Amino acid sequence: MTKKNIAVIGAGIVGLSTAYYLQSSLNKVTLYDQYDPGSGTSRGHASVIANYGIPALNQNDVWKNLIKYLFYKNSPLSIKFSYLHKSLPWLIHFLRNCNSISMNFTAEQTANLLKKALPTYQNLLNEIQANDLIVNRGVLYVWINEKEKPTKNQIKIREKNNIEQIYLSKSEILDLEPYLNPNIKGGWYFPKAHHTLNPDKILSKIFIKFKEKNGQFIKEKISHISFINQKFHINSQTYDEVVICCGAFSNTLVKQLEGKSIPLETERGYHLEFQDMQRFLSRPICLVDSGMYLTPLDNCIRAAGTVELAGNSNEINYSRINYIDRGSKRLISELKNYQKTWLGFRPTLPDCLPIIGKSPNHNNLYYAFGHNHLGWTLGPVTGKMITKLINKEESDNQAYKIDRFL
């Protein structure tokens, strides 16, 4: 196989995995990021390998809750009023996908990726000597308010796509997690779900292995890529192939390379960390009422979640932080003072499917972004898929291609 000179732009979990696999298959890879590798959204999530993660947000009952999302402060989804006009084109497109057909299509296509997520992760962690950073204790969805429990439709879609899920009564939940609020009414258990104990260490180990295999990293924001004589040029470097993995910030380069923007929105999410509190929890718990997770990491309980449509500025909305703090204490009353807060940007397309595949306009340009709530789960699978595409071992799947928005 000819050794190719490849640039990967963006060093989150998607870009790092892509760069690692491409370099491992004997290409010559240069990874670019404006910041240190793995220092963006890919470090602060709920740390769940969510191989049960369907349906996505585009469900047919979203309409019913729209007013609540727009105007209620106590809602897991919030839209900043002054940002509403900017998010409107995406919102309209998203709402058009909130019907049974689209919901089922997104679920099926996502399930196809989720099937491969765990074995791919386990192999990757093996290769980078990080198997001790992933554990299998399942994930619990619990609710306190009966009205908020998962709908029949959600349960049916998971069943249809072979996701293992077990209903647990309140007492069965409290046997598993004795510190949880005794007012919990019930829950669903996903026994095959895993979680990672330290995303920073995993990201850093992927990067170290990439460098050990002679991968190159350049810390630089890429604002322009030129295309001359069938090759790409970034500053003074020439590349045979380019992969864009810039998460929620991918649109600038898409517009420059395709001549058109796509409807990529960012679902902002937050986390708080309760240091040295991990003894109060054995596995990630999602409080469905609040749209948030508590996850036991190796040195803390991390409370992560909520969805905020407010653009990609770094401004923290403390009412969201307070909302997560209240939800954490509602689940485990021992959680007193959080020590750290963090804001991240989930990259989301209106059909809630990622973009993974080749550009329609350039044979040697690839995109890998838009993994919304599942990017930590799907990063390694995506890296593998892009590597197989570039190495011509597999062909594109239409469902994930950028063409659907161009």
35 binds ligand FAD (CB under 6 A): yes
As measured in angstroms, the least distance from the Cβ of 307 to ligand FAD is 9
Select 152 or 203, whichever has its Cβ closest to ligand FAD: 203
Q: Does 245 bind ligand FAD (CB under 6 A)?
A: yes
- Nearer to ligand FAD among residue 10 and residue 187 (C-beta): 10
Continuous segment of H or E residues that includes residue 64: helix 62-71
Among 47, 87, 359, 387, binds ligand FAD (CB under 6 A): 47
Residue given tokens 């240069």 in the structure block: 30
Looking at residue 150, the DSSP 8-state letter turns out to be P
Residue identified by tokens 């309980």 is 301
Minimal distance, residue 373 CB to ligand FAD, in Å: 5
Is 41 among the residues that bind ligand FAD (CB under 6 A)?
A: yes
User: CA–CA separation, 278 vs 294, rounded Å?
Assistant: 10
Q: Does 42 bind ligand FAD (CB under 6 A)?
A: yes
Distance of closest approach, residue 331 Cβ to ligand FAD, in angstroms? 16
Residue 367 β-bridge partners: 244, 357
Q: Please work out the total of residues on this chain that contact ligand FAD, with binding judged by CB under 6 A.
A: 42
- Rounded (5°) CA angle 373-275-138: 45
**Comparison of 64 and 130: residue with beta carbon closer to ligand FAD:** 130
Sole binder of ligand FAD in the list 48, 134, 144, 301 (CB under 6 A): 48
246 binds ligand FAD (CB under 6 A): yes
Contact between residue 17 and residue 384 where contact means Cβ atoms under 8 Å apart? yes
Task: Choose which of 50, 139, 206, 399 interacts with ligand FAD (CB under 6 A).
Answer: 50
DSSP readout, 327-348? HHHHH-TT-----EEEEEEEEE
- Residue 258 carries which side chain, given as an amino acid letter? E
Q: Do 328 and 272 form a contact (C-beta atoms < 8 A)?
A: yes
Q: Which of 6, 7, 8, 9 binds ligand FAD (CB under 6 A)?
A: 9
Q: Map the footprint of ligand FAD across residues 337-366, applying CB under 6 A.
A: 344, 346-347
Chain mean position to CA 68 = 25
Please tell me the total number of residues recorded for the chain in this structure: 406
By CB under 6 A, what part of segment 284-323 binds ligand FAD? 304-305
In the list 7, 13, 107, 197, the residue contacting ligand FAD (rule: CB under 6 A) is 13
For residue 342, the minimal CB distance to ligand FAD (Å) is: 8
DSSP string, 284-303: -EEETTTTEEEEE-SSEEEE
b/e per residue, 196-206, with b = 16+ CB within 10 A?
bbbbebbbbbb
What does the alpha-carbon distance between residue 87 and residue 275 come to, in Å, rounded to a whole number? 36
Stretch of residues binding ligand FAD (CB under 6 A), selected from 84-92, 166-174, 246-254, 395-403: 246-254
Q: Is the Cβ–Cβ distance between 226 and 326 less than 8 Å? A: no
Tell me if 76 contacts ligand FAD by CB under 6 A: no
Residue 221 binds ligand FAD, judged by CB under 6 A: yes
Q: Indicate the residue among 3 and 326 with the shorter CB distance to ligand FAD.
A: 326
Burial status of residue 306 (CB atoms within 10 A of its CB: 0-12, 13-18, 19 or more): buried
**Nearer to ligand FAD (CB atom), residue 139 or residue 335:** 139
Interface residue with ligand FAD among 371, 380, 381, 383 (CB under 6 A) is 371
* Sequence-separated (6 or more) residues with CB below 8 Å from residue 278: 296, 297, 298, 299, 300, 301
Complex with ligand FAD: residue 184 or 378, whichever CB lies closer: 378
Task: Kindly tell me the sign of the dihedral angle through the C-alpha atoms of 67, 71, 77, 83.
Answer: positive
Cβ closest to ligand FAD, residue 149 vs residue 302: 302
Residue type, 289: D
269 binds ligand FAD (CB under 6 A): yes
Interface ranges with ligand FAD (CB under 6 A)? 9-15, 32-35, 40-42, 45-48, 50, 221-222, 245-249, 269-271, 304-305, 344, 346-347, 369, 371, 373-377, 379
